Amino acid sequence: MRKIKMLLVVFLLCMSSTYAAKVDTLQIASTAMSKTYKSAVVLPNSYSKSKTAFPVMYLLHGAYGHFGDWLKNTPNKKLVHNLSDQYNIIIVMPEGETFSFYLDSPVNTESQFETFITQEVIQKVDKTYKTIANKNGRVITGLSMGGHGALYLSAKHPDLFCAAGSMSGAVDMSTMLNRDSSAQVVKLMQPVFGDKSSSTEMYEQHAVLRMVDKIKANKLPLIIDCGVDDFLIEPNRELHRRLVYSKVDHDYTERPGAHTWEYWENSLPYHVLFFNKIFLKNQQVAKK
């Protein structure tokens, strides 16, 4: 009986290693910022055996975080690996620094993360891996600051993505100034907005909430969700109302939960399922 149990353990270990996605750490030089940043790239198990090109999902981290967050902070540490294998996609998690909001700073040449993601990360990934190097095989989503980033970048660069999403997105950045930690927020946003980091008007100028007309014109499929106990629920509800009023097609969901990794672990599979349907529609899903 003991031998049978040992053989079963060995078998399960072999099975888990055979069907495990691979994680690369890709160094990406930024000419715009004169720095080199890391990105985590998850390749499905089928990647090494296939000659076909793969669709790519860009997955952005939140404020106070870094590129490795999605791999180490979810309760299930294999969440991203499993989704990569299940849907046969490459998942790229680029660096966005702790408070860049994926913007090109108007005052600081060392904080140009819109340019970094749209002109440097995507190009490096497409040159390094077997990707579908056009918008029909590329999507973007993220949590909190990354939710803002995904909607913001896709709205400004609809030529790069065929769909976008947001989980607990900071779609109205001025909301941060209304919290107890507003002084800390102003300090952290100094590299982005400089002396105007306490200006509500500056935040609103770059808010996704004010980009509905552009989003409508682009006609990209969107998936947006937020937890009912999240401090960002009201801005997300307002974005949903504005999109409905403007007759912009989108998936919007509220679920139990707060601004937590437990919520985002539950949310991410819905986003990947949504994107996979679009890849299938575009006939861009890589064959295993």
DSSP code per residue over 10-30? HHHHHHHHHT--EEEEEEEEE
Please tell me the predicted confidence (pLDDT) of residue 278: 97
Please tell me the predicted confidence (pLDDT) of residue 158: 98
Distance, CA of 165 to CA of 177 (rounded, Å): 24
Specify the pairing of strand 22-30 against strand 222-227: unpaired
Please tell me the predicted confidence (pLDDT) of residue 49: 93
Closest Cα partner for 167 from 63, 82, 249, 263? Answer: 263
Q: What is the pTM of this model?
A: 0.91
Please tell me the predicted confidence (pLDDT) of residue 176: 79
Structure tokens at 232: 């960002």
Please tell me the predicted confidence (pLDDT) of residue 186: 87
Burial label for 7, CB within 10 Å (0-12, 13-18, 19+), is exposed
User: Do the Cβ atoms of 282 and 249 come closer than 8 Å?
Assistant: no
Which stretches of the chain drop beneath a pLDDT of 70? 1-19, 180, 284-288
Structure tokens at 47: 């990647």
Neighbours of 115 (CB within 10 A): 15
The amino acid at residue 281 is: K
